A and B are shown apart, each in its own frame.
Chain A
Amino acid sequence: GESVGLHLPTLSVQEGDNSIINCAYSNSASDYFIWYKQESGKGPQFIIDIRSNMDKRQGQRVTVLLNKTVKHLSLQIAATQPGDSAVYFCAENAGGTSYGKLTFGQGTILTVHP
């Protein structure tokens, strides 16, 4: 049914801590998984992606883990900084004829305290 409103999960951390943001996805046919960061007044900004044939991928200060068995995706941010404060979204694309279509999770609000 329709949701009345989204209540975004929140994560509050201290500067320098490691952050882990989780996401459950629903489509077992999804081929690409992407993490986006959205700051106030801006569009989603690409952080890192992972393809379905991988289970881990690392970037600069970020790591994405994919567990296809339980349809779970996580984003780990090392040494979190105040500039990392934003809403984080996971997104999936099924590939094939799903042209241009990303299915987004509800998002998680990350707040980093100095």
Chain B
Amino acid sequence: KAGVTQTPRYLIKTRGQQVTLSCSPISGHRSVSWYQQTPGQGLQFLFEYFSETQRNKGNFPGRFSGRQFSNSRSEMNVSTLELGDSALYLCASSLIGQGSGYTFGSGTRLTVV
């Protein structure tokens, strides 16, 4: 079966711009989580969506937001980009967002210049 698909794979944006990243989960998975991976901070949890509702949120500023559609696809948006937002953004899908059954996509590499 198809894995988790993230688009685009690479993005270059300018400070102050906004960006939208997309994640298509494995068919049947209703939970989508987002993570930021940087050399300095490692992998950090951003938020989780299930049935179009945000159920959990990490410690990131309000510039980071997301949403989930009725087909479980999810998007995350970062507004007013800063240089420090340069990172690999990963999404993970799972059936119900509990336990250990998380499958990650290959990520979107965002570079802010």
Contacts and interface: CB of A to CB of B under 8 A. Distances in A.
B90 A43 contact: yes
B100 interface: yes
B48 interface: yes
B53 to A, nearest CB: 10
A6 B45 contact: no
Interface stretch (A12-20, A70-78, A92-100): A92-100
A100 B31 contact: yes
B40 A5 contact: yes
Interface residues of B, number: 32
Given A99-B56, A100-B48, A93 B43 contact: no
A43 B48 contact: no
Interface in A52-108: 89, 91, 93, 95, 97-107
Contacts of B58: 101
Contacts of B99: 32, 93, 95
Contact of A3 (B40, B92, B97): B40
Contacts of A101: 33, 45, 48, 56, 58
Contact of B42 (A42, A93, A99, A107): A107
Interface of A (DSSP majority class): loop
B100 A44 contact: no
Contacts of A34: 100, 102
Interface of A: 2-6, 32-34, 36, 41-46, 49, 51, 89, 91, 93, 95, 97-107
Interface of B: 4, 31-33, 35, 39-45, 47-50, 55-56, 58, 90, 92, 94, 97-100, 102-107
Given A93-B99, A102-B102, 15 more contacts: A2-B41, A33-B100, A43-B104, A43-B105, A43-B106, A44-B43, A45-B104, A99-B31, A99-B48, A99-B98, A100-B31, A100-B50, A100-B102, A101-B45, A103-B45
